[in-house]
Amino acid sequence: MNNSKSVVNDRVQPDDRYKGVLSELQIELKTPCEEYPSFGMDEHYYLTISKTSKLESNSIWGVIRGLETFAQLFYLSDDYNVIRINTTDITDFPTYPHRGLLLDTSRHYINVNNILKTLDAMAMNKMNVFHWHIVDDQSFPYQSEKFPELSEKGAYHSSMVYTKADIQRIIQYARFRGIRVVPEFDVPGHTRSWGVAYPNILTQCYDYERKNVVDLGPINPLSDVALKLLKDFFEEVQELFPDKFLHVGGDEVNLNCWNSNPELVKYMKDNNVTAEGLHALFMGNVFPLLSYNKTSIVWQEVFDEYVPLSKETVIQVWKSLPAIEMIKVLLAGHRVLFSSEWYLSVLKNEWWDYYTYNPRQMVYDVTSDETLLPNIVGGEACMWGEMVDDRNVISRVWPRACAIAEKLWNSVLDRDRRVSAAPAEAYNRLEEHVCRMLRRGVDAQPPSGPGFCVL
């Protein structure tokens, strides 16, 4: 409905396009509410805008997406005095079931309020997975009930931790917005902060002559103590986070450290295995620590180093030559998440650089085999934390992540590959959307250059 009007002496003077005042929005939810969002949840919705508008969906998640669209259909008249909306009929659903944002809260601690604001922004962009890279080498802000020393000694400061109550609040806040919270506890690498409290679980790295210990490296793959700690730790994590998926990392393991350690060198020689074989051994011991109703996500190194994996394991591709990597993973029967070209930590990249990529299109361009495409289940924008903290994380993520969100929601396979760059209308959409986000309290940076928003 183009509610085109001018206001004179407090009376509405409609023009010939005026079709009345929108009086109500009727919502029809056709099935009972699910308790939590989940992988593959139904996000379809049908929206009709007229005097009495109607939103229909088979699921509460579709209702949430439809309400977001409904809110975004309103716009201001040129004189900013009248709110308008056009008549329309919309049938909408996402291309990819997994549309995620990774947020690293270890390199810099991100406070709970900024995480909640991030979830608000994700909902505005119909993203549905908050991949919480909660700990890493630099700090351990997760407050464990079973192992409180991990954060007591491994966090930057006692004020920079996430308590059980904080995490439950974040999960609930995300749930109300149709967003899954998938935690990542990366092992065996990226674990230096674990060793502040429990140095005996990490590998001692030796100098070139293997005489002197010079550092602590990844978790020791032969340590029974480490495996027992991980067993109890993952039991706690799985009870706290309700999502079916748990990211166990597996990336960037310092194999040189393992190759320097005399104990591990002897084991490798006696058992005729390499450091990569130790990685496979360790990950093979980690996967059984997940309960029967949990599914693991891993970074691509775990697949590349021939770690035995169940077909259910999801592989997150992040390195160069991603199309070739994705094809290898798909041919092995696994599902794929794409992140290679969507690192928000690459500061020189702007939103249009991210907009270019459609992971299914990338694979199709190489193979033209459409049967592989459904197992590319989505992707994630990755905001690694080296150069962001509470002062700039929101503006660094938004609106650049908006481009990735749009590609994941609404990508069309172009068999002729006629279009690669962001079209002009995408620039216009994003300018409008940034103003909308600013009005709703998300401090997104200007998307494309000079401009203005009336707030």
| Residues tagged active-site | 252
CA–CA dist 367, 324 (Å, integer):
10
Phi, psi of 88 (to 5 degrees): -170, 160
Please state at what angle helix 359-367 crosses helix 322-331, rounded to 10 degrees: 80
Q: Kindly state the DSSP code that residue 89 receives in the 8-state scheme.
A: E
347: phi then psi, degrees, rounded to nearest 5: -70, -25
Backbone angles phi, psi at 421, to 5 degrees: -80, 165
Place of tokens 């997406």: 65
Q: Which amino acid is at 311?
A: K
Q: What is the DSSP string of 53-79?
A: EEEEESSHHHHHHHHHHHHHH-EE-TT
Calpha distance 271→267 (Å, rounded): 6
Query: 């396009």: which residue's tokens?
Result: 17
d(CA 412, CA 337): 18
Element (H, E) at 378: strand 376-383
